[in-house]
Amino acid sequence: MSQPQPTTIMDETTPTLQTAEITSMQVAAPIASDKAARLNAPTIIDIDKVDFHYGQNKALHGINFPIKEKLVTAFIGPSGCGKSTLLRCLNRMNDLVDGARIGAGSIKISGVDIYDPNVDVIELRKRVGMVFQKSNPFPKSIYENVVYGLRLQGVKDKTRLDETVERSLRGAALWEEVRDRLHTSALGLSGGQQQRLCIARAIAVEPEIILMDEPCSALDPIATVKVEELIHELKQDYTIVIVTHNMQQAGRCSDITAFFYMGKLIEIDSTEKIFTNPGQKQTEDYISGRFG
């Protein structure tokens, strides 16, 4: 977390100091200078010609692209374009929807086909964490929210649980705000704090990938800035895939942007390229707000 990263406003301070005050409404510049090198990062998720169906409806058509390790990949596109569907394919949350199935193609994470019948979905979801659109803390204490994943795995060691709580809350830039009230209800936190708690809960089980489904859409601008800064911090350690309706957000916090329309991938490239010089007319129209 201490590695210098000139693109965020938080770099001069340590994470623990950042959290106490809202430092500024200033937002991060989108593009890092070492961009080119980083875009050649190894592939962690390989989405290979995926068709996806909800019953009779085909929601995704031949989606085919890799997601790079320890980068932030943003999915953008109008409502119903399939970006959330694709995100939910990556940890098989779509399994919960009746009639939802992959029709063709495969999704491999670190080389393993996650739709293989031998794959343990529980194990997959431990490695691929998820943060939802609406902050959804459990109606339990802050502490119990963070350790939920560990308790599921049968961890009882108090020291380890305590350490995880502090590490995760620090990681989610929430520790300083809640350290004195860990055992009070999580529902007493503000919306932005709740969403960061959900991020802490996700990183407590030490996933490799974190999926974020419009994590800031229910937050006010100040809380949004905090979560975006957090995303910058988190990509040191995690691969992040974020679905967003907010074009500026995709521009601010992602390295790679994928634009979807009508269940098809229209274009994927470095965020810089997508936002300054997109290759497709549709992408340009969408980004510039002339869509439709």
Partner 1 sequence: MDLTRKLRWRTIFSRGMDGLVGLLTLAALVPLVSVLYMVIRKGAGNFRWSMLWELPPAAGVEGGGFGNALVGTLILVGIGTLASLPIGVLTAIFLTEYSLGSKSARIIRFCAKILSGLPSILAGVFIFGVLVATTRQFSVIAGGLALGILMLPIIILATEEALLRVPRFLREASLALGANRTQTVLFITLPAAGPAIITGVMLAVARAAGETAPIIFTALFTSYWIHSLTEPTASMSVLIYNFASVPYDNMVNMAWTASFVLVLVVLVTNIVSHFVVNRSK
In the complex, which residues of this chain contact partner 1 (CB under 8 A)? 91, 93, 96, 98, 122-123, 125-126, 129-130, 132, 134, 136-139, 148-149, 151-153, 198, 201-202, 205
* Closer to partner 1 by Cβ: residue 57 or 276: 57
Pick the closer one to partner 1 by CB: 43 or 136. 136
| CB 133 to partner 1: min, Å | 8
Minimum CB distance to partner 1 smaller for 91 or for 283? 91
Query: What are the DSSP calls for the chain, one per residue?
Result: --S--TTSTTTTS-HHHHTTS---S----S--TTHHHHHTPPEEEEEEEEEEEETTEEEEEEEEEEEETTSEEEEE-STTSSHHHHHHHTTTGGGGSTTEEEEEEEEEETTEETTSTT--HHHHHHHEEEE-SS----SSBHHHHHHHHHHHTT---HHHHHHHHHHHHHHTT-HHHHGGGTTSBGGGS-HHHHHHHHHHHHHHT--SEEEEESTTTTS-HHHHHHHHHHHHHHTTT-EEEEE-S-HHHHHHH-SEEEEEETTEEEEEEEHHHHHHS-SSHHHHHHHTT---
Q: How far is the CB of 4 from partner 1 (least distance, A)?
A: 32
Give the nearest distance from C-beta 211 to partner 1 in angstroms.
Answer: 8
Minimum distance of partner 1 from residue 156's CB (angstroms): 15
* Shortest Å distance, C-beta 97 to partner 1: 11
Toward partner 1, which CB reaches closer, 150 or 182?
A: 150
Q: Which is nearer to partner 1, 205 or 230 (CB)?
A: 205
- Between 125 and 181, name the residue whose CB sits nearer to partner 1: 125
- For residue 202, the minimal CB distance to partner 1 (Å) is 7
